């Protein structure tokens, strides 16, 4: 079975011409998925902020349980790394002790809400304290560091925040929970606004490309005519 060809004898069979695929359609679909994802994330952030503000104690309990699971998982990985062949012998003891300590702290988190919140607050407090001390020392010793004054101020504030969190863990962690709830609502509202604005832009893009779209099937005269 033969296909009719054009007058030159080298053209493709009729109906097999490559379709005119415009990249605007792919960009429009990608933008459409983007605003839907942004809207979903914004609504989820708003819902999270409302839940945190409505039930702060329950939120802290869930966070404490998640922190306990995190410590247990970290301890298991540390123990596994202690027996790995890639770890030097003089570091295996350190990995083993760290893994056992993480598992012990993780089990303590499951004893009650107060224990898990206390460990979480101390964990964050010591982390902020060490980071603040390092940033402050770096900014004080290096005179040519970019934004040296801002780095020094940030290090001092982080150090003070860590000290406050260590000294008064329960009240500080409760205040942090309220701040997280408010910030989640604010961030979620901004994302929803951006999603709506993106949806309007996608609608304009779709209307603009629909008027310029070329037909897929082109009418061509039969070679015998």
Residue pLDDT, tens place only, 107-134: 888 887 788 888 888 888 898 898 889 8
DSSP three-state, residue 88 = coil
Residue 2 maps to a domain: no
> Into how many domains does the chain fold?
1
Residue 218 maps to a domain: no
The Cβ of residue 93 has, within 10 Å, a number of other Cβ atoms equal to 10
pLDDT of residue 61: 83
pLDDT < 50 stretches in the chain: 1, 3, 5, 7, 17-18, 20-21, 216-217, 219
Whole-model pTM?
0.58
Residue 17 maps to a domain: no
pLDDT of residue 20: 46
- Rounded (10°) angle between helices 56-82 and 113-141: 70
Full residue range of the structural domain in which residue 101 is found:
32-206
How far apart CA 154 and CA 152 sit, in angstroms, is 5
């Amino acid at each position: 079975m033969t296909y009719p060809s054009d007058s030159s004898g080298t053209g493709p069979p009729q109906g097999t011409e490559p379709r005119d695929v415009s990249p605007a359609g792919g960009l429009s679909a990608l933008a459409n998925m983007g605003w839907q994802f942004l809207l979903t994330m914004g609504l989820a952030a708003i819902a999270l902020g409302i839940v945190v503000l409505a039930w702060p104690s329950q939120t802290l309990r869930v966070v404490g349980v998640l922190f306990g699971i995190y410590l247990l998982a970290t301890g298991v990985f540390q123990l596994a790394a202690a027996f790995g062949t890639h770890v030097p012998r003089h570091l295996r003891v350190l990995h083993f002790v760290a893994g056992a300590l993480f598992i012990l702290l993780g089990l303590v988190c499951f004893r009650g809400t107060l224990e898990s919140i206390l460990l979480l607050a101390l964990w964050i407090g010591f982390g902020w304290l060490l980071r603040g001390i390092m940033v402050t020392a770096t900014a004080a010793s290096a005179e040519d560091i970019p934004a040296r004054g801002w780095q020094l101020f940030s290090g001092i504030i982080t150090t003070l925040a860590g000290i406050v969190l260590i000294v008064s863990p329960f009240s500080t962690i409760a205040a942090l929970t309220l701040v997280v709830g408010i910030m989640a609502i604010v961030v979620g509202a901004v994302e929803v606004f951006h999603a709506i604005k993106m949806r309007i832009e996608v609608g304009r893009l779709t209307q603009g490309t629909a008027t310029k779209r070329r037909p897929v099937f082109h009418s061509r005269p039969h070679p015998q005519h």
